[in-house]
Amino acid sequence: MTRVVVGFDKFRGSATATDLVDAGVRALETAGLKADGVPLADGGEGSLDVLGGPNKVTTVSGPLGDPVDAGWRLDGKDAFIEMSAASGLTVVGGPERNDPLAADTFGTGELISTSIELGARRVFVLLGGSATTDGGWGAVRGMPPAPRLKEIELVVACDVRTLFTEAAEVFGPQKGASAAQIKMLTRRLDRLVQVYSETYGVDVSELPGAGAAGGLAGGLVALGARLESGFEVLAERAELDQLLEGADLAVTGEGFLDAESFNGKVVGGLAGWAEAADVPVLAIVGDRDPDVDLPSNVEVISLVERFGREAAFDRTVELVTTLLVERADQI
């Protein structure tokens, strides 16, 4: 029997990865195909949901100091912490309500510390959606001293390669920072490079990805963390390679496909894994940049091009289901 692997990312603002995967599996099985579903993410916001959602809630300090109830997940000795739950832009109400100079990651450090106190020995910190550009200094202050972390495996999952001192320039505007504030934040990051080098003996200045989440990645690396692709971390957790083995097609998708989709995001990540398994890929996306060069094993269908922008946003799950039913006879 023909078998399809369904591995969607979320369509931000219109559908979750889980909703899309469940709908895709139902559509294909109704059409007489065998389908295996696996919600996917790249380490950013929404990553915790694909792991089953939070099963712990801890009250910590929000980006601007107000208490916030942050959900996180503990599976045996593994903890999964989405930094946006404690230090995210949504916590403060968006860029217009953020204070880019004051926002810090202390609450994320508190979550890491709590997870260790509750028995975690491997802590995955999922980056994305931060309100902060504090270089991780807040998190460092909220965590146990470095010697106590030696027995803890700290993994930072991210999907960007921004350098530490570039974090303010690259991400500051989307967090509400003015041009003057970006200069101030960059000077702060420059100083933190020295602090981390002098205090922990780690140079974070040239490490690709250290600027993720406003430099939180670099701050955690200074304490001994290692950086990994968020997609790779979550795909390995889901045993995606085993699902792809022997499959006839992989179906994936995200809200908007552009060049960045093939630089650490779900569509590109799954396409790479599928190519290694000699499996073709159908990517159903909300919209796309028509100038993006696609890998040879990837076909793309845009909901906007097929059904119009309003329908693509308001009826995402329904339209994805419609497309898969239409395509079932061709698989």
Residue pLDDT, tens place only, 76-89 = 999 999 999 999 99
CA atoms within 13 A on the CB side of 248: 12
* Same domain (yes/no): 149, 292: no
* Same domain (yes/no): 291, 211: no
Residue 174's closest CA among 94, 106, 254, 104?
Answer: 94
Phi, psi for 270 (deg, rounded to 5): -65, -40
Q: Domain end: 177, 204, 231, which one?
A: 231
| Average pLDDT of the residues in 160-164 | 93
Looking at residue 15, the DSSP 8-state letter turns out to be B
CA–CA gap between residue 267 and residue 251 (Å, rounded): 9
Residue pLDDT, tens place only, 146-159 = 888 999 999 999 88
Residue pLDDT, tens place only, 196-247 = 999 999 999 999 999 999 999 999 999 999 999 999 999 999 999 999 999 9
**Domain extent for 283:** 3-40+238-330
What rounded mean pLDDT belongs to the chain? 96
CA–CA gap between residue 33 and residue 159 (Å, rounded): 33
Radius of gyration of the chain (CA): 20
Residue 331 has pLDDT above 90, yes or no: no
Q: Report the CATH number that the domain containing residue 82 is assigned in CATH.
A: 3.90.1510.10
* Same domain (yes/no): 223, 260: no
pLDDT confidence of residue 1: 80
CA–CA gap between residue 167 and residue 169 (Å, rounded): 6
Residue 264 has pLDDT above 90, yes or no: no
Domain count, the chain: 2
Provide the whole-model pTM.
0.91
* Same domain (yes/no): 191, 126: yes
Residue 43 has pLDDT above 90, yes or no: no
Q: 67 by DSSP, 3-state: which?
A: strand
Residue 271 has pLDDT above 90, yes or no: yes
* Same domain (yes/no): 93, 221: yes
Q: Domain end: 231, 254, 282, which one?
A: 231
| Average pLDDT of the residues in 12-17 | 92
pLDDT confidence of residue 46: 81
| Average pLDDT of the residues in 102-128 | 97
CA–CA gap between residue 308 and residue 317 (Å, rounded): 14
pLDDT confidence of residue 78: 97
pLDDT confidence of residue 145: 87
* Same domain (yes/no): 166, 214: yes
Residue 190 has pLDDT above 90, yes or no: yes
Residue 78 Cα to chain centre, angstroms: 18
Q: How many helices (H) and strands (E) does the chain have?
A: 14, 13
CA–CA gap between residue 166 and residue 212 (Å, rounded): 10
* Same domain (yes/no): 102, 17: no
- pLDDT confidence bin for 112, thresholds 50/70/90: very high
Across the chain, the runs of DSSP E, i.e. the strands, are 3-8, 34-37, 56-61, 67-75, 78-82, 122-126, 153-158, 226-229, 249-253, 256-257, 281-285, 287-288, 298-302
* Same domain (yes/no): 25, 64: no
* Same domain (yes/no): 123, 218: yes
Q: Report the CATH number that the domain containing residue 305 is assigned in CATH.
A: 3.40.50.10350
DSSP code per residue over 264-283: TSHHHHHHHHHHHTT--EEE
